[in-house]
Amino acid sequence: MSQTLLPSGWVEKLCDPYAVLGISVIADDRQIFKRYHTLAKLLHPDRHAKNCDSDQKLATAIFSHLINPAYAQLKNRQKRLIAIAMLRSDARVLEHKRLSFQSAIAQEMMEMPTSGAELFYEEAIACYAEAQYKSLDQFYQVTQQINILNLVYLRLHKPDLFLLQKAVPIIPKIEVKPVELTLSEQTDVKPVLTNYAQRHYQRAIEYVRLAKWPLAVQELRDAIKLDPNNSDYYALLGLVHFKQKFIGMARVYICQALKLNPQNSLALKYASGLKIKPGENTNPKSMAKAMSIAALLSRFTQGKGPQVKC
């Protein structure tokens, strides 16, 4: 199979083996092996037999000249270290401004604390990877976005921290000093507390009525940040994802709503349709994953990134 079947410059420009496979730079042997075999099935000629002849040939060329060499490099631990070193060198050369200009997702990741950025990075890679080879027309653009995220991650992590286990964020203690009030102040002062979470929730309801799903997702994500224990927010977010046919995320949010309030009427209404069993709960890791992917989807559908569906 000739390399000329690939568009000009692909082999030279797609030199990040992790991005080509659609995995993070902290993927282990098992993840690398599993992803390679997944791609072997996705790009098998028989899978593209119903498509035009050019698509079938392109799939074979991508697998032969990009995926196979990438896997050969990463399955060898010494070569894998060389690949990381080269990517880290590229990351040092590129400026943050240039990276953020190329990717809105990279910009969001750079603004996060290190612990949060690491989780966001892994989930963003997983989201891109799911869409990477579904359409060969978008393979090149998606792979470039994965490469940018890899470079951002390597910029954020020092070499001596790269092999360490994920750090557990330490929440500093906040010292609250008591304030003494006079009798008149105690009786006259009536503070008005603004419930900003409810404001986001009410706006989300309006966006749902208008079927403006991305805007509803953003408002509900903001509401959950302010009040993470309100089942109504999760239930409505589950409904929004259900309407967009993101069934996996809809199940996670409906489960979380029922975990917080087993009697939540909206969650119960959609639980049966989503085949959620009584007492079935999600876990914190699944919730973090769904929140991260929701952030990605929000940006994609608002035109701030490539139109990739997860």
Least confident range from 86-95, 159-168, 234-243: namely 159-168
Q: Measured between alpha carbons, how far is 175 from 81 in angstroms, rounded to an integer?
A: 45
Domain definitions of the chain by residue range: 3-161, 196-301
- pLDDT tens for each residue of 4-28: 467 666 777 788 999 999 999 988 8
Average pLDDT over residues 217-234: 87
Buried b (16+ CB within 10 A) or exposed e, 243-271: ebebeebbbbbbbbbbbbbeebebbbebb
Q: What is the pLDDT of residue 285?
A: 55
Structure-block tokens of residue 228: 């993470």
| pLDDT at residue 42 tops 60 | yes
pTM above 0.75, yes or no: no
- CB atoms inside a 10 Å sphere around CB 116: 14
Sequence-distant (6+) residues with CB within 8 A of 13 are 144
- Is-contact 16 147, C-beta < 8 A? yes
- Is-contact 289 310, C-beta < 8 A? no
- 196-301: which CATH architecture? Alpha Horseshoe (1.25)
| pLDDT at residue 87 tops 80 | yes
| pLDDT at residue 306 tops 50 | no
